[in-house]
């Protein structure tokens, strides 16, 4: 994974949750050469993520062009919703699930199979949830969960991530 970490969180904690989210997909996905940029979103209490199929990426004018293994993921760490521990765990779970979803797209980008995509076609697009690529990713996740890769199974890494968010972003010293 080529991690671009724009948060205060440690690379190690981020790498752990990002990798486990790929494992939770229970599907072939090469993580090593994928560029993952993580930002902290101080305006949203929800994780936002997107994935893009490309061979190289250049973020800003001053940045170097980076080679990718068919994909780039951009994901945000949500700001703290409430100074309650349960809320952090919920948000951390949302982060994990969003990341798992984005790996699903990358898995398609890397696939040698001919897969149908709605996105990027000319004309009107279906609404997000009905796009072929979205429905496909939902099926991957359903199949993985049936095989035991539920969010509960990854609670350790999710909790570690939540702890790190509290440590680096909470103003409440009593947590
Ligand atoms: Zn999607």
The ranges assigned to domains in the chain are: 2-169
pLDDT (mean) for 146-150: 97
Model pLDDT for residues 83-142, shown as the tens digit of each residue: 677 888 999 999 999 999 999 999 999 998 888 887 655 555 566 777 899 999 999 999
- In this predicted structure, the answer to whether residue 149 has a pLDDT above a threshold of 70 is yes
| Residue ranges with strand state E in 8-150 | 35-41, 49-52, 56-57, 66-67, 72-78
Most confident of 24-28, 43-47, 127-131: 24-28
CA of 50 to the centre of ligand 1 (A): 7
pLDDT at residue 123, rounded to an integer: 53
Model pTM score: 0.92
Model pLDDT for residues 53-65, shown as the tens digit of each residue: 999 999 889 989 9
pLDDT at residue 144, rounded to an integer: 98
Q: How far apart are the C-alpha atoms of 43 and 41, rounded to whole Å?
A: 5
- In this predicted structure, the answer to whether residue 164 has a pLDDT above a threshold of 90 is yes
Q: How far apart are the C-alpha atoms of 34 and 22, rounded to whole Å?
A: 11
CA of 53 to the centre of ligand 1 (A): 12
CA of 109 to the centre of ligand 1 (A): 12
- Contact at 8 Å (CB) between 162 and 89? yes
CA of 60 to the centre of ligand 1 (A): 24
> Two tokens at 23?
């494992």
pLDDT at residue 83, rounded to an integer: 67
CA of 101 to the centre of ligand 1 (A): 6
Q: Which helix (H) or strand (E) holds 89?
A: helix 85-110
């Amino acid at each position: 994974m080529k991690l671009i970490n724009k948060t205060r969180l440690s690379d190690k904690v981020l790498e752990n949750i990002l990798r486990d989210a790929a494992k939770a997909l229970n599907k072939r996905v090469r993580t090593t050469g994928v560029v993952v940029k993580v930002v902290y979103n101080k305006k949203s209490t929800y994780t936002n993520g997107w994935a893009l199929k490309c061979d190289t990426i250049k973020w800003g004018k001053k940045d170097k062009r980076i080679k990718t293994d068919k994909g780039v993921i951009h994901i945000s760490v949500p700001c703290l919703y409430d100074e309650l521990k349960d809320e952090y765990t919920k948000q951390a779970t949302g982060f994990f699930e969003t990341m798992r979803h984005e790996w699903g797209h990358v898995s398609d980008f890397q696939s040698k199979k001919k897969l149908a995509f709605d996105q990027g076609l000319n004309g009107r697009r279906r609404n997000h949830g009905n796009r072929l690529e979205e429905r496909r990713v939902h099926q991957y996740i359903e199949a993985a969960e049936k095989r035991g890769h539920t969010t509960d199974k990854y609670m350790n890494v999710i909790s570690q991530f939540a702890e790190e968010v509290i440590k680096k972003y909470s103003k409440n010293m009593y947590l």
